[in-house]
Structure 1
């Protein structure tokens, strides 16, 4: 039975979601404040979190960022806010999906299932890679397919979907990894925002040009010595971005 943590202070909405997901076979608990939600994450170990942005004790984006520093649990924002800038901010804070109130319970349930499915797929792929390392005699060919590296020690492992920068493991979202894979595969190529949108569309529910800029900004923080003066992910004004060694 999959577990859902709802962090929502509105009792009517919270109870309605809890009842619907409970009837769908989920184990559900609801917390009314951000602090109680943080405590519940440790104790309840949810498979997915439904998070309201407007909580009585803290901002939902702040909570989302805090959770993302220690956990990969999928987070879906459920909020009355529906402006593009707010959805982009949520993605930038580490959310995986965003639904605007009011919404269809059927769609909400489908998205919860999709988030859990995707999370389990990545986890299973990572576990499989750790438990079944390539045979020594095939190591060279296996790693040639699994690793995409540049001369400055940026390594993408497509089996475990992890990025290593100068010997350090760096966490990425799904979309960040896909964008970085395009860059490392084709250094010097200029990608328009539309190119990158097509790369991640289907994984970000509300992906926009602005969301691509947020992903680029986050990647620069993770791989650049000075994100304000990027040397690797460069802006091609009026066009898009390119990656250089």
Structure 2
């Protein structure tokens, strides 16, 4: 089965060279010349690995890595100009699996790519988040109040988990949409507000006076750290 690689690289000549070399080695390679195009492609397709340049014309590659890692565990090999040590350190801290300084030999790129593919994606630990009487169980995809399961759709649970895992941080609607992908993104394109209302109906004692999932006017939503 052919493995599909996403290459996010703005250098057209380098991208074409990598595509040809990996293609001759049995891989299928899709090229995105900007960070945003790369993120858009990743939302619509399943890739086995991502080759990510740090120096991109729109979004910094490190930021692209951060956004990807918020919801996705596809192996990432970062391409760093001149092998800047700080870029390498930050990239690995953000969740990249490996890095390769430019200029590089195609054979080394192939070897490192095969190495991260052998390791495969690492599933994140989805611990139970607890906020007083509310438990959010990522493994079971279930929210519970006093042990009673809340009636949430899978998409609504994902939205709740995104907010609760960043408790105390205001998330704009645009940030929330960036953290959602695939079918979930389509499910929320009509109105995040409607889904928030339905979540509140399940987790709040008084949905009209929410204490957990709070609207920050003009900014977005924040999941409160306060306990019951």
- TM-score normalised according to structure 2 size: 0.54
Partner of 2:27: 26
- Whether the 8 Å contact between 1:162 and 1:169 is mirrored in structure 2 is no
Partner of 1:73: 74
Return 5+ residue gaps in structure 2 as ranges.
131-135, 140-164, 169-228
3-state secondary structure, aligned to 2:104: coil
Distance 1:165 1:41, change over 3 A: same
**Aligned mates of 1:70, 1:5 — CA distance in 2:** 17
Query: By how many angstroms is 1:114 displaced?
Result: 1.4
**Aligned mates of 1:119, 1:96 — CA distance in 2:** 10
Which structure features the higher share of helix residues? 1
Partner of 2:125: 162
3-state secondary structure, aligned to 2:78: strand
Instruction: Give matches, 1:1-245, under 5 Å.
Output: 1-119=2-120, 162=125, 164=127, 166=129
**Aligned mates of 1:10, 1:107 — CA distance in 2:** 19
3-state secondary structure, aligned to 1:110: helix
User: Which sits farther off after the overlay, 78-87 or 94-103?
Assistant: 78-87
Partner of 1:130: none
Distance 1:92 1:17, change over 3 A: same
3-state secondary structure, aligned to 1:162: coil
Displacement over 3 Å in runs of 4+: 165-171
Distance 1:69 1:105, change over 3 A: same
Return 5+ residue gaps in structure 1 as ranges.
124-160, 172-221, 226-245
Partner of 1:213: none
Query: By how many angstroms is 1:93 displaced?
Result: 1.7
- TM-score normalised according to structure 1 size: 0.51
- Whether the 8 Å contact between 2:10 and 2:32 is mirrored in structure 1 is yes
**Aligned mates of 1:115, 1:41 — CA distance in 2:** 18
- Whether the 8 Å contact between 2:52 and 2:76 is mirrored in structure 1 is yes
Query: By how many angstroms is 1:166 displaced?
Result: 4.8
Figure out how many residues of one structure are paired with residues of the other and give that number: 137
Query: By how many angstroms is 1:113 displaced?
Result: 1.2
